[in-house]
Amino acid sequence: MVNKDELTDMIINTDLEKVQGPKDVWEKQIDLDDGRILIVGYEEESKVCQGLTADLTSGGDEEKCAITYNWYWEIRNSETWDLIYENHDTDLSFCSEDLQKAWSDESTFEDIGDVPGTELCTWSDQNNIEDIVEDILDDIRDTLD
């Protein structure tokens, strides 16, 4: 079993990888060296879009979307993949703004122009992995001991 400082470092620094499938889910898998794997990830919870301007080339609209993601974590048996512990019910989330444009093959930046600034992600409670690592460790402590 890795110690708390090592585990903190691994949770923060292990790269996230996109999970195959139709949903927007990203995970990092951390080997706990005792036949268990800690999975830390986030998944899309909701998407709210706001129309901005018409695309001059294709006639389509541009949207700026606020996508809310929720963090979760699991501990699994590394050989059987059996679930040992999970927490998908956290209130730890973050928001990301995404611009979706109706581009055509002939579109150029000049055709589209600057997108007016809007702020869809406005709340201050942005939970980055560095912000929630202690919450994760506190939650899984009993399972790891």
* DSSP result, 8-48: HHHHHHSPPEEPSSSS-EEEEEEE-SSSEEEEEEEEEEEEE
pLDDT of residue 104: 38
| pLDDT score recorded for residue 99 | 55
Ranges of residues in the chain with a pLDDT under 70 are: 1, 51-62, 99-126
Q: Give residues with Cβ within 8 angstroms of 110, minimum separation 6.
A: none
Tell me the C-alpha distance between 44 and 14, whole Å: 20
Domain boundaries, the chain: 4-144
Query: What are 49-70's pLDDT values in tens digits?
Result: 776 555 545 555 667 788 888 9
* pLDDT, position 110: 39
